[in-house]
Chains A and B, each alone.
Chain A
Amino acid sequence: MKLPYYPGCTLKKNAKNFEISAMAAAKHLGIELIELPRWNCCGAVSSLTSDDVMHHVAAIRNLVRVQQMNDDGILENEYRLIVLCSMCFNVLKRSNMLVTSNASMLNTINSFMDTEPDYEGTVEVKHFLEILRDEIGFERLKNAVRNPLKGLKISPYYGCTLLRPKEIGIDDAESPSIMENLIEALGGDVADNPYKSLCCGSYHTVGNAEVVAQRTYKIIEGARRNGADVIITSCPLCAFNLDNRQALTEKLYPGFKRMPILYFTQLMALAFGYEKEAGFDGNFINPIPLLEEKGLIGMKVQK
């Protein structure tokens, strides 16, 4: 199955291991993610005002690329755009929803992008997790595991943009289960966290890192008190805040112990037997000692 894929800026810089591990995991499941040609930054956050059209142009231009891939024969009638980054997913989906329910807005954007083909409203923005749940299914996913994550207590962290607002979210806004189901399919143990969808402080990491570190503490301690060894996420900004900001958290909270933060795709790659592609050397808090202790890496995987 060939699916068009939107990476977004951070997957090409700080979160390269998110992209590489996702590619390996997808391939193992028979999915080829094809990067959009000439994609551009989506804007990272949506404009929330009723009168702003301009800030949706960047998102919509990316959706035009999906149409072009179909027109050029790179894709065959495939209009589902796969996104890994939760924030990009939220932004692209919101802009798509706005223009597909507002003909005059779509018309304005199409007129503005006068060197591009018109966007026809045909694209469906999907998070990669939705494809795993709805297209592959957790049973098939379980059967694809070669190296079950036995004994690893994994805590899902959803953050905001995968779940909210409701019309954009991929799961129940208050009681999600998609990451829990994924963890179980990979053979890991779920460690719940009452703060799994508490905002990490987001962009306040620029200029107000302390506010972020306070939330980092709360979120990580919430997971730890439920027995977690590691937290998984699908947002590169949450990952930066939960992972890199532990250096500051440590200073603010004496006695705080570091916990590795991983992209969910890194654990998929590991469970599918692609240790190298999992990119564990790319995380700020080194997860390798933990994974070695659990006997999950450095072992020969049975093929």
Chain B
Amino acid sequence: MSNVIHIEEEENELLAKVEEISGETVTLCEQCGICTTSCPMAEEMDFTPAGIMHAVKLGDKNVLDSKAIWICASCFTCTVRCPRGIDLAKVTEALRQIHLRKNKDHVNLEEVKEEEQEENLPPIALVSALRKFTG
């Protein structure tokens, strides 16, 4: 019995797009999982950091609809620990940018306005959230 998996590189649009935007070579990932065990947000994620890398390598576009790419806060813990030297924070940034570059914001500005007034949010919180969640 033989199982043959055909991977045709030219079909993997997602990988090409992510590598272009991030400047990172996602295919270097060997799925060791250090990123996932290091991630302070992993428990909140539907795709783990290693899972995100795997999905991009396979061209699985479901990762674009994941909660995980938005919950990553670019803390760079995975980046400093990746034994393959991949800057994973740039990979999740690229995945967010694929949405944001189509002018699809990930935040409701009216709700933010109310919250800002109620809670005296610092400018640093507002500016960084809007930079990460709007195009």
Q: Which residues of A contact B (CB under 8 A)?
A: 8-10, 13-15, 41, 43-45, 47-51, 55, 85, 87, 160, 164-166, 173-174, 197-199, 201-207, 211, 215, 236-237, 240, 244
Contact = CB atoms under 8 A, between A and B. Distances in A.
Given A49-B22, A207-B111, A237-B124, A202 B76 contact: no
A47 B134 CA distance: 12
B64 interface: no
Q: Which 7 A-B pairs have the closest CB atoms?
A: A50-B23, A199-B75, A164-B76, A9-B123, A48-B93, A206-B129, A203-B129
A256 to B, nearest CB: 19
Contacts of A10: 122-124
B46 to A, nearest CB: 14
A197 B116 CA distance: 27
A89 to B, nearest CB: 12
A87 B80 contact: no
A241 to B, nearest CB: 8
Interface in B111-125: 111-112, 115-116, 119-125
Contacts of A9: 122-124, 127
B129 A174 contact: no
Interface in B72-95: 73-77, 79-80, 87, 89-90, 93-94
Nearest to B92: A48
Nearest to B123: A9
Contacts, number: 124
B103 interface: no
B112 A206 contact: yes
B124 A87 contact: yes
A49 B124 contact: no
B131 interface: yes
Interface of B: 20-23, 40-41, 44, 71, 73-77, 79-80, 87, 89-90, 93-94, 97, 107-108, 111-112, 115-116, 119-129, 131-132
23 contacts: A14-B120, A15-B122, A41-B127, A44-B123, A45-B131, A48-B87, A48-B93, A49-B21, A49-B22, A49-B23, A49-B94, A49-B97, A51-B20, A160-B75, A164-B77, A199-B73, A203-B129, A206-B116, A207-B107, A215-B40, A236-B124, A237-B124, A244-B119
A199 B126 CA distance: 17
Q: Is the interface of B mostly helix, strand, loop or mixed?
A: helix
Contact of A165 (B71, B87, B93, B126): B87
Contacts of B41: 199, 211
Given A51-B21, A174-B80, A236-B122, A207 B112 contact: yes
A157 B23 CA distance: 31
B113 to A, nearest CB: 11
Nearest to A86: B124
A173 B120 CA distance: 32
Given A10-B124, A14-B122, A165-B87, A206 B115 contact: yes
A10 B123 CA distance: 6
A13 B120 CA distance: 10
A50 B73 contact: no
A237 B40 contact: no
Contact of B132 (A45, A164, A166): A45
Given A48-B89, A48-B90, A203 B125 contact: yes
A203 B94 contact: no
Contacts of A51: 20-21
A56 B108 CA distance: 25
Contacts of A174: 80
Contacts of B122: 9-10, 13-15, 236-237, 240
Given A9-B127, A45-B128, A207-B129, 13 more contacts: A10-B123, A13-B123, A44-B131, A48-B74, A51-B20, A160-B75, A199-B75, A206-B107, A206-B112, A206-B121, A206-B129, A207-B115, A237-B125
